[in-house]
Amino acid sequence: MFPGVRFKLELWPMLLGAITWPNQLACQIAIGIVMGSLAVSFMVVARQNRRLNKEAKRRQQFETALRTSEAHYRALIHALPDLIMRINRAGIYLEFLASPDFATLPQDASTWIGTHVADRMPPNLAKKRLDAIKKALTTQMTQVYEQNLSINGSKQVEQVRVVPYSHDEVLIMVQNISDRSKAEEQLKHDAFHDQLTGLPNRSLLMERLELALKRTKRHPEAQLAVLFLDLDNFKIINDSLGHHIGDELLLGISNRLKIAIRETDLAVRLGGDEFVVLLEEISDLTEVVMVAERILETLKLPITLVNREIFPSASIGIVMYVPENHHGAADLLRDADVAMYWAKHNGRGQYKVFDPKMHQQATQRLNIESNLRQALKNKEFLIYYQPIINLKTQQVEAFEALIRWQHPEQGLLGPDRFIRIAEEIGLIVPIGEWVLQTVCQQLSYWQVKCPEQPLKVNINLSVQQLEDSFLLSLEELLTQHSLRANTLVLEISESALVHNVDATQDLLERLKHRGVGIVIDDFGAGDSCLRYLHQLSITGLKIKREFIRSSEPDSRHQVVAESIISMCQSLGVKTIAEGIETSEQVAWLQDVGCDLGQGFYFAKPMTANGATNLLTSFHGSILG
Residues that bind ligand C2E (CB under 6 A): 386, 402-403, 414-416, 419, 432, 435, 460-462, 491, 493, 521-522, 578-581, 598-600, 605
Q: Other CB atoms closer than 10 Å to residue 188's CB: what's the count?
A: 10
What does 416 interact with, of Mg ion, ligand C2E, none (CB < 5 to 8 A by kind)?
ligand C2E
Per-residue CA distances from 38 to 14, 33, 42 (Å): 15, 9, 6
Instruction: Based on the shown chain and the rule CB under 5 A, indicate whether residue 521 belongs to the binding site for Mg ion.
Output: yes
State which of residues 522, 549, 565, 586 lies at the interface with Mg ion (CB under 5 A).
Answer: 522
Q: Of 296 and 403, which has the nearer Cβ to ligand C2E?
A: 403
Measured over the CA atoms of residue 472, residue 474, residue 480 and residue 482, the dihedral's sign is negative
Please report how close the Cβ of residue 599 comes to ligand C2E at its closest, in angstroms: 3
> What's the CA gap between 477 and 443, in Å, rounded?
11
Q: In the bound complex, what is the minimum distance in angstroms from residue 620's beta carbon to ligand C2E?
A: 18
Residue number, 162 or 489, with CB nearest to Mg ion: 489
Q: Is 397 in the site for Mg ion (CB under 5 A)?
A: no
DSSP 544: P
Confirm if 262 and 290 have CB atoms less than 8 A apart. Answer: no
Q: Which residue sits closest to Mg ion, CB atoms considered? A: 491
Residue 309 interaction partner, one of Mg ion, ligand C2E, none, beta carbon < 5-8 Å per kind: none
- The nearest distance, CB 555 to ligand C2E, in angstroms, is 18
Out of Mg ion, ligand C2E, none, what residue 581 binds, judged by CB under 5 to 8 A for its kind, is ligand C2E
Q: Which is nearer to ligand C2E, 197 or 493 (CB)?
A: 493
Residues of span 473-502 touching Mg ion by CB under 5 A: 491
Q: How far is the CB of 254 from ligand C2E (least distance, A)?
A: 38
Closest residue by Cα to residue 590 from 315, 423, 394, 308 = 394
Per-residue mark of binding to Mg ion, 28-67 (x: CB under 5 A): ----------------------------------------
Check residue 232 for interaction with Mg ion (CB under 5 A).
no
- Give the binding range for Mg ion (CB under 5 A) out of 66-74, 279-287, 519-527, 590-598: 519-527
Which helix (H) or strand (E) element contains residue 352? strand 351-353
17 binds, among Mg ion, ligand C2E, none (CB under 5 to 8 A by kind): none
Residue 419 site contact among Mg ion, ligand C2E, none (CB < 5 to 8 Å, cut-off depends on kind): ligand C2E
Which residues have C-beta within 8 Å of that of residue 206, sequence separation ≥ 6? 329, 330
Contact 614, 603 (CB under 8 A): yes
Minimum CB distance to Mg ion, residue 524 (Å): 10
CA 154/CA 6 separation, integer angstroms? 82
What are the angstrom distances between the C-alpha of 391 and each of 13, 136, 164, 318, 481? 140, 103, 106, 49, 29
Smallest distance from ligand C2E to CB 447, Å:
21
- At closest approach, how far in Å is the CB of 266 from ligand C2E? 43
CA dihedral (99, 105, 106, 112) positive or negative: negative
DSSP track, 229-282: EEETTHHHHHHHH-HHHHHHHHHHHHHHHHHHS-TTSEEEEEETTEEEEEEEEE
* Close Cβ partners of 444 (under 8 Å, ≥ 6 residues apart): 481, 482, 483
Q: Which is nearer to ligand C2E, 56 or 525 (CB)?
A: 525
Q: Measured from the CB atom, is 343 or 489 closer to ligand C2E?
A: 489
415 binds, among Mg ion, ligand C2E, none (CB under 5 to 8 A by kind): ligand C2E
- Minimum distance of ligand C2E from residue 544's CB (angstroms): 8
Which residue in 138, 86, 93, 130 sits closest to 112, CA to CA?
93
List CB contacts of 396: < 8 A, sequence separation 6 or more.
Answer: 387, 388, 389, 390, 453, 455, 614, 615, 620, 621, 622
C-beta of 227 vs 398, nearer to Mg ion: 398
- 309 or 416, CB closer to ligand C2E? 416
Q: Which helix (H) or strand (E) holds 449?
A: helix 428-449
What type of residue is 470? F
Please report, as residue ranges, which positions from 458 to 477 form the binding site for Mg ion (by CB under 5 A): 460
Is 442 a binding residue for Mg ion by CB under 5 A? The answer is no
State which residue, 397 or 578, has the beta carbon closest to ligand C2E. Answer: 578
3-state SS string for 545-586: HHHHHCCCCCCHHHHHHHHHHHHHHHHCCEEEECCCCCHHHH
Closer residue to ligand C2E (CB): 89 or 456: 456
Question: Is residue 134 classed exposed, middle or buried when 0-12, 13-18 and 19+ CB atoms within 10 A define those classes?
Answer: middle
Q: Which amino acid is at 332?
A: L
User: Could you give the CA distance from residue 98 to residue 80 in angstroms, rounded to a whole number?
Assistant: 10
C-alpha distances in angstroms, 429 versus 47, 181, 422, 474, 548? 88, 58, 9, 13, 31
Beta carbon of residue 503, minimum distance to ligand C2E (angstroms, whole number): 17
CB of 437 to Mg ion, least distance (A): 19
* Residue whose CB is less far from ligand C2E, 227 or 419: 419
Residue 619 C-beta: closest distance to ligand C2E, Å: 22
The interface region with Mg ion, picked from 288-296, 333-341, 345-353, 575-583 by CB under 5 A, is: 575-583
- Residues interacting with Mg ion, by CB under 5 A? 460, 491, 521-522, 578
